[in-house]
Chains A and B, each alone.
Chain A
Amino acid sequence: MPGLEHYLILSGLLFCIGLAGAVIKRSAIVILMCIEIMLTGVNIAMVAFSRFITPVELTGQIFTVFIIVVAAAEIAIGLAIILALYRNRNTIDTQKIDLLKW
């Protein structure tokens, strides 16, 4: 039976992979995908704490439900912004979207 530490390490690895991708990648859609990976890692940590520390109260699982709701809203708005950008500038490369760059 894997313990709490295994799940925490898995969640930390997923979070760091997502963070690296969100910083490194240039395509805006891939950045959104990496943010989803980060949120998934956090979800694993929440459910693991709920399973191993408060198995009966389920508060961590409630938090995960709300994280999933907010992540769905975020991805819908993010993709809408990306599509609007693509319609205006014909690219979603974040290095070329430099209207606000000084």
Chain B
Amino acid sequence: MQIAFWILAVLAVVSAAGVIWQKNLFRAALLLVLCFLAVAGIFVTLSADFLAAVQLIINVGAVAILIIMSIMLTREVTSGNPSGKLGLPALAATGVLAFSIIITSVSSYWPLSSSSPLEPTTAALANLLFENDGFIFLIQLGAILLLTTIIGAIVLLRKED
């Protein structure tokens, strides 16, 4: 568990940094996929098995393919992965932010629970999501959001003639 966590954490951070440092845009997209894979493993170490599967299917599968396809469609690979003028100030500001996040999360008091987690979470999640007093309203809102997204994408990319 310990070894798995450290390997996955280092992999996630390094590949996320590689998305920024990598000059080749296509390789940056592949590093993003690697980062998503490592985060799916992190979910497994947190005993969130259903979320790991969701992460694999949606982020590693669908989102990665969308991004790689749009890189292909825009021929952006030829112009590389340029940085703007704000490089150093942005790095300094986010460094300070990261430092304060680390300090806060280490020094805060967390009311940890000692009970062991649910092992197959799928049935419990389904009960929470689809019960009448659960999150069923948000599920319906999510369906409307996805439908709006599909229609919006089609309208944006329709050829006007």
Contact = CB atoms under 8 A, between A and B. Distances in A.
Interface of A: 1-2, 4-10, 12-21, 23-27, 29-30, 32-34, 36-37, 40, 43-44, 47-48, 50-56, 58-59, 61-62, 64-66, 68-73, 75-77, 79-84, 86, 92-95
Interface residues of B, number: 81
Given A6-B9, A33-B32, A44-B42, A75 B20 contact: no
A69 to B, nearest CB: 5
A27 B135 CA distance: 37
Interface of B: 1-2, 5-6, 9, 12-13, 16-17, 19-20, 25, 28-29, 32, 35-36, 39, 42-43, 45-48, 50-51, 54-55, 58-59, 62-63, 66-67, 70-71, 73-74, 76, 79, 81-84, 86-87, 90-91, 94-95, 97-98, 101-102, 105-106, 110-113, 115-118, 121, 124-125, 128-129, 135, 138, 142, 145-146, 148-150, 152-153, 156-157
